[in-house]
């Protein structure tokens, strides 16, 4: 039986009188690839923020790799093995694509050999078909290319659980195919992946 990587038990979140998330429970194990589908405003991003430490649950517990993480700050949750993307990409616009890749790599492992990290970054960028953009400023990239860069930055953290929040939002159909291929390759490497979208067709790809 696979070990449980992520476990939510009766997790709820209220904003004043608004019940945004109501007693959600589920588990994620390696190497599962699961989808969460719901219309805009259903609470998908709120739930993602709860799992990643951006928000604290009003009630319930969240465990990551056997460690309780609800209420912990995002950097602590990341170190514990959870990586997530955002609906709106957060690449560092004044830095090159390679510099954007190196930031999470060095933050995750400050003592790592820089040449080894750069080699790993090139490997990931090649997988994402944007290795030719290594020296481009990230602010010069298209929306789809920035999505790919965000996925690359995420993989530099080597998380055991990956949450993809609307990864196709604002992305050209051609690049959507690249992202889909990336998701399946990472899943085949043994990562647990949660794909969150309002688009049922995208989830079932």
For 8, phi and psi rounded to 5 degrees? -110, 135
Q: With 90 as the cut, is the pLDDT of residue 13 above it?
A: yes
Q: What is the pLDDT of residue 100?
A: 93
Q: Which of 154, 197, 153 is nearest to 176 (CA)?
A: 197
Bridge partners, residue 19, by sequence: 14
The answer for 56, left when phi > 0, alpha when psi is -120 to 50, beta otherwise, is: beta
CA 38 to chain centre: 18
CB 34 within 8 Å of CB 194: yes
Task: Tell me the percentage of the chain whose pLDDT exceeds 90.
Answer: 50
Q: With 80 as the cut, is the pLDDT of residue 12 above it?
A: yes
Task: Tell me the percentage of the chain whose pLDDT exceeds 70.
Answer: 92
Structure confidence by residue, pLDDT tens digits, 167-184: 887 777 887 888 888 888
> Residue 31, preceding bond cis, omega within 30 degrees?
yes
Q: What is the pLDDT of residue 176?
A: 82
Residue 190, judged by CB atoms within 10 A of its CB (0-12, 13-18, 19+), counts as exposed
Q: With 50 as the cut, is the pLDDT of residue 97 above it?
A: yes
Task: Report helix, strand or coil for 51.
Answer: helix
Q: What is the pLDDT of residue 50?
A: 96
Q: Which of 24, 6, 1 is nearest to 84 (CA)?
A: 6
Confidence category of residue 1, pLDDT binned at 50, 70, 90: very low
Give the pTM.
Answer: 0.84
Domain limits, the chain:
4-204
Q: What angle do CA 1, 85, 30 make, to 5 degrees?
A: 5
3-state secondary structure 19-42: EEEEEEEEEEECCCEEEEECCCCC
Count other Cβ atoms within 10 Å, centred on residue 149: 25
How would CATH label the architecture of 4-204? Answer: 3-Layer(aba) Sandwich (3.40)
Look at the alpha carbons of 75, 178, 125, 90 in this order and tell me if their dihedral is positive or negative: negative
Top-confidence range, 49-58, 90-99, 190-199: 49-58
82: part of which helix (H) or strand (E)? strand 82-84
The answer for 148, left when phi > 0, alpha when psi is -120 to 50, beta otherwise, is: alpha
């Amino acid at each position: 039986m696979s070990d449980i990587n992520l476990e939510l038990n009766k997790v709820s979140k209220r904003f004043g009188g608004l019940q945004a998330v109501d007693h959600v429970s589920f588990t994620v194990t390696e190497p599962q690839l699961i989808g969460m589908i719901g219309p805009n405003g259903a609470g998908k991003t709120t739930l993602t923020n709860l799992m990643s430490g951006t928000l604290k649950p009003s009630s319930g517990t969240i465990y990551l790799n056997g460690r309780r993480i609800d209420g912990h700050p995002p950097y602590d949750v990341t170190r514990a093995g959870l990586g997530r993307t955002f609906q709106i990409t957060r690449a560092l616009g004044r830095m090159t694509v390679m510099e954007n890749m190196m930031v999470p790599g060095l933050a995750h492992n400050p003592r790592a050999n820089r040449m080894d990290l750069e080699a790993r970054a090139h490997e990931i960028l090649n997988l994402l078909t944007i290795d030719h953009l290594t020296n481009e400023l990230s602010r010069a990239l298209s929306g789809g290319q920035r999505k790919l860069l965000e996925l690359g930055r995420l993989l530099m953290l080597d998380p055991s659980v990956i949450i993809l929040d609307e990864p196709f939002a604002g992305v050209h159909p051609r690049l959507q195919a690249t992202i889909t291929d990336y998701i399946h390759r990472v899943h085949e490497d043994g990562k647990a992946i949660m794909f969150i979208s309002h688009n049922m067709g995208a989830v079932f790809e």
